[in-house]
Amino acid sequence: MYKLYYNLLFPFNKWIGGILSLTCLLFINAFFATAETSTIETVENPSVRIKDISKIASLYDIQLRGYGLVVGLNGTGDSSSSAFTIQTVTNMLQRFGISVPGGKFNTKNVAAVIVTADLPFFAKTGSRIDVLVSSIGDAKSLAGGTLLDTPLQAPDEQLYVLAQGPLSVGGFSVSGGAGDNIQKNHPTVGTAPNSGMVLKAPEFKYSDQENLQLVLNEPDFTTATHLVSAVNQWSSQDFGEPIARALDAAVIEIKIPQQSKKDVVTFISKMEKLTLSPDHVAEVVIDERTGTIVVGKDVRISPVAISHGNLSIQIKTEEEISQPEAFSTGETKVISREDLEVQEEKQDMQVIRGGASIDDVVRALNMIGVTSRDMIIILQAIKRAGALHAKLVIM
């Protein structure tokens, strides 16, 4: 009896099993297709941290500058024609009680310089920073020199740093007796590592702040909206309320929760680790000097037809000697014969359909055999024709 039922139902069982197998196969394919699609979307739209695309508005470096002297040069300093160097040395010696009659001395071992530095916002009094030293006279090299104490001031003329120390120059200049000169890098610019002592540091107290402002490195309304959503989603879970709002395309205001005011550093540390997918304007960046082309993934092109051909012109010159007949009064002359040949490489018209991505564009241009230089001209022509929907940036 069981065998009879099995024989009767065997075709149906086989048919049902096939359907189940096909259903499982379709489900597996759909699963991996979905997983593959998600992976591609993650790669094309990577998530970045808030700290990598923005900064706190009130935290910025202070640019400093000062005028000073570099001494101890081996005859490569300013010449006697640099009047400001002589005047500076004279004034310095007078402060030491030394008087030089008429300022007559040789300054070949001294150079007048401008000293610049960036004071980090979190620098503290007593800490040291690097300074950059640049010659403003006619010195040949600053190698081996020592920077004398130079006060560095901000644009508001407040004194922040006092710099003094030996220089490190990554170049040299050697002159030969016959007037030959060999130079590597820039020997008239050097750095003085850890020679700047901070005398005054900017003050900022987080406990006195009700709000913080984040400034996007690249202003964009969509990116600002994504940042606000990421912060509010986090704050709603941890603090029970949204704390972020966008003031414009560049500035996002963050309200410091009451429970975080005692430890704002931890609050900022957690917030700047949040991730989001930034957006940007579609751009095509071209460097004509090096033939470099960088195209964003959002660049799209309307329907356009491209034909590219090379015109080759070759001129050949052949010289022949014209010999007169014997016992005649003629002269022997050289006659030039020129042969002009023009060849034009024929190329088929390549059609790019509307909405094409940059991959399609590059593939189509490679099919007609264009170089980087030619591709620059073609992209400019497509932009002029109104078919390139992106910002064209030429460096």
Q: Are residues 314 and 294 in the same domain?
A: yes
Residue 25: the pLDDT is 35
Q: Are residues 90 and 172 in the same domain?
A: yes
Residue 233: the pLDDT is 94
Last residue of a domain, one of 149, 172, 198: 198
Q: Are residues 222 and 294 in the same domain?
A: no
Instruction: Please check whether residue 121 lies inside any domain of the structure.
Output: yes
Instruction: Please check whether residue 226 lies inside any domain of the structure.
Output: yes
Rounded to whole angstroms, how far apart are CA atoms 28 and 14? 21
Cβ(309)–Cβ(345) below 8 Å: yes
Instruction: Please check whether residue 11 lies inside any domain of the structure.
Output: no
Strands of 45-141 (E only): list them.
48-49, 54-56, 62-71, 110-119, 128-135
Beta-carbon count within 10 A of 358 CB: 17
Instruction: Please check whether residue 53 lies inside any domain of the structure.
Output: no
Instruction: Please check whether residue 44 lies inside any domain of the structure.
Output: no
Q: Are residues 78 and 182 in the same domain?
A: yes
Residue 310: the pLDDT is 57
Residue 121: the pLDDT is 85
Q: Are residues 66 and 183 in the same domain?
A: yes
Instruction: Please check whether residue 35 lies inside any domain of the structure.
Output: no
Q: Are residues 92 and 154 in the same domain?
A: yes
Number of domains present in the structure of the chain: 3
Instruction: Please check whether residue 1 lies inside any domain of the structure.
Output: no
pLDDT digits (tens, 9 = 90+) for 342-355: 455 555 545 555 55
Ranges of residues in the chain with a pLDDT under 50 are 1-43, 178, 311-315, 342, 349
Q: Are residues 72 and 191 in the same domain?
A: yes
Last residue of a domain, one of 276, 299, 315: 276
Rounded to whole angstroms, how far apart are CA atoms 150 and 118? 15
Instruction: Confirm whether pTM is higher than 0.85.
Output: no
| DSSP at 208 | G
Residue 19: the pLDDT is 38
Residue 184: the pLDDT is 60
Reading the block at residue 169, the tokens are 């120059």
Crossing angle of the two packed helices 264-272 and 221-238, in degrees rounded to 10: 130
Instruction: Please check whether residue 360 lies inside any domain of the structure.
Output: yes
Q: Are residues 156 and 119 in the same domain?
A: yes
54's CB contacts (< 8 A; 6+ apart) are: 214, 215, 216, 217, 227, 252
**Which range marks the domain in which residue 224 is found?**
206-276
Q: Are residues 173 and 263 in the same domain?
A: no
Residue 172: the pLDDT is 56
**CA 147 to mean position of chain CA atoms:** 32
Q: Are residues 178 and 67 in the same domain?
A: yes
Residue 179: the pLDDT is 53
Q: Are residues 81 and 188 in the same domain?
A: yes
Question: Burial code of 169-178, b = ≥16 C-beta within 10 A, e = fewer?
Answer: beeebeeeee
Last residue of a domain, one of 143, 172, 198: 198
Residue 29: the pLDDT is 40
Q: Concatenate the DSSP letters of all residues of 134-173 into one string.
A: EE-SS-S--TT-EEEEEEEE-TT--EEEEEEEE-B-S-EE
pLDDT digits (tens, 9 = 90+) for 151-197: 999 988 899 999 999 998 876 555 555 455 555 667 899 999 999 99
Q: Are residues 292 and 227 in the same domain?
A: no
